[in-house]
Chains A and B, each alone.
Chain A
Amino acid sequence: GQSLEQPSEVTAVEGAIVQINCTYQTSGFYGLSWYQQHDGGAPTFLSYNALDGLEETGRFSSFLSRSDSYGYLLLQELQMKDSASYFCAVVRGFQKLVFGTGTRLLVSP
């Protein structure tokens, strides 16, 4: 079988740093992606890690440890607009994503 675990909700204040963890159990693992989804909106691609280590894109960074079946998304200098749901997704094959249940991030002033 396959499973991905993320915290259901995380709260933080503007300007802070927050880390959203993702652990996974799956076969056919190619890499780990992260997507952001605002209420009523479509998922938006944030990052993809195929190899172990940290990938940085602006205020967002993503980390992967294949040996630990673990990854995280790090959001720095939080802004109100970062309030959204964040999904980790295992890439199981060519363009095939298996999504987690998502983490709702609430950023307060």
Chain B
Amino acid sequence: DAGVTQSPTHLIKTRGQHVTLRCSPISGHKSVSWYQQVLGQGPQFIFQYYEKEERGRGNFPDRFSARQFPNYSSELNVNALLLGDSALYLCASSPGTSEAQYFGPGTRLLVL
């Protein structure tokens, strides 16, 4: 079975631009979560969606938004990019029946 997939793998943007990151969960998983990981730190929770509804939001500004589609794939959008948004963005899926989350390889975003 395919694992969690994310696209693109790498992205370079400039300050003020907008970015959309995509995630496809493991087949059958209805929960998708997004995390931001800065080098040398643990992942930080951004959003969690279950059955297409937002179930949790971390301490991130309104420039960050997300949605989940009927096929359970998800998008993370970041507007008005700042240098500090440079990070690895991780998507994780779960069937929702256990606490194990399965992470994708991430999208590495560099903001110049």
Residues of A at under 8 Å CB distance from B?
A: 30-31, 33, 41-45, 48, 50, 87, 89, 91, 93-102
Count how many chain B residues have C-beta atoms less than 8 Å from C-beta atoms of the other chain. 26
Partner of A102, one of B42, B50, B98: B42
Question: Which residues does chain A contribute within 8 Å of B45, judged by CB atoms?
Answer: 96-98
With CB as the reference atom, state the residue of chain B lying closest to A102: B42
Number of CB contacts from chain A to chain B under 8 A: 63
Nearest CB on A from B51, distance (A): 11
Q: Please name the 4 residue pairs, one residue from A and one from B, whose CB atoms are nearest each other, closest first.
A: A99-B42, A42-B103, A45-B100, A48-B99
Question: Which residues does chain A contribute within 8 Å of B94, judged by CB atoms?
Answer: 95
Query: In the complex, A54 Cα to B69 Cα: how many Å?
Result: 39
For window 54-83 of B, CB contacts with A under 8 Å fall at 55-56, 58
Write the B81-110 contact mask toward A (1 if CB under 8 angstroms, else 0).
Answer: 000000000101010101111111110000
Contact yes or no, A94 B56, CB < 8 A: yes
Contact yes or no, A95 B31, CB < 8 A: yes
Contact yes or no, A45 B102, CB < 8 A: yes
